[in-house]
Structure 1
Amino acid sequence: MSDDTDRFEAVYRATYDQITAYAGRRCDSPQDAADVVAETFTIIWRKIDQLPAGAEARLWVYGVARNVLADHRRSALRHRARHRELNAEMADLYGDPADHNVELAAIAQVFRTLSDDDREVLSLVAWEGLDRHEIATMLGLSRNAVRIRLHRARKRFSRALVQAGVRFTPGNAVVPAGRPL
């Protein structure tokens, strides 16, 4: 085997589960996540000569996956725009989610209104468990820039929740507007 093949196989084994989870949490379906993962590793194979050594490799792979996911989202947005009317008709037919899902639906709705950058930095902390240094390396930013972005993203998310009428009980449970605490 060649050195490139060995490097690819090593990074694949080391990051496949993490990248699959990363894509799975950000895609609407398992099929979309599988497409993102496959495209990510295809690009890594094509750009194997750019793969950094050591711990940097994992973060570089996350960066590739992030770019693939961004392309996937742009494609999905174009698709949704073409089918917006059909989606509205389906929503009229099937109505709103059951009351027990209202809290999660409200948070998800507000989260989707955030900018891509805000969603990404919040997701990297909450879902991927990356620290500021790892995020900085992945995004090619300073740790201070990541700290500022994270602080501002949290503030914007909090304000958006308040504007949407989502409130928190003293025990940090989420309560939509119109419901008693």
Structure 2
Amino acid sequence: MSPEDRFRRVYAGNFEALLAYATRRVEQPDDAADVVAETFLVAWRRSADLPADDEIRLWLYGVARRLLANHHRSGIRRERLGERLRQCLTAVSTCDPGSEVPQRLAVQAALRRLNDTDREMLLLTVWEGLHPREAAKVVGVSPSAARTRLSRARARLRGLIGDDPDAPGHVLGVLAVPVPEEGR
């Protein structure tokens, strides 16, 4: 009997039993079908090493068992990765200083009134947390030009919002996010 004929016979004689075995051990029927397909792929690749006919089903169960273990481990890894991503997304969505400030609309309106360069420098350093030298690379200017632009942008925004903490529209602490010192 040729190796192909033997494989066909092994497949036909064990497919349903392996599918039932895998189905009872996974949550989704599609996953069981994948495990069975991978099991027979291993059997096909190792057709020269298959045990005798009276032991083949046990060997296939052993292969399926290891593939199921891999499937469960990868599911756990996917869940952990998903949880880490959800935590990162939560952290990102709560880090926006404007979302915690009741007068954020006033700040957004003032930002819209700034020119594009000033707005970009402020957003890169305050919202994105970049150092001025990093923002300089993003906008394509020298670090000293970036520091100058940032200083001027802050002054223009203060002019639009106001410096008086008791005045309407003043948003205390919005631009008080510490910008790390950097060497010149």
- Report the TM-score when normalising by structure 1: 0.45
Considering only CA atoms, is the larger Rg found in Structure 1 or Structure 2?
Answer: 2
> Which protein, 1 or 2, shows the higher relative CO under an 8 Å CA cutoff with sep ≥ 6?
1
What TM-score do you get using the length of structure 2 for normalisation?
0.44
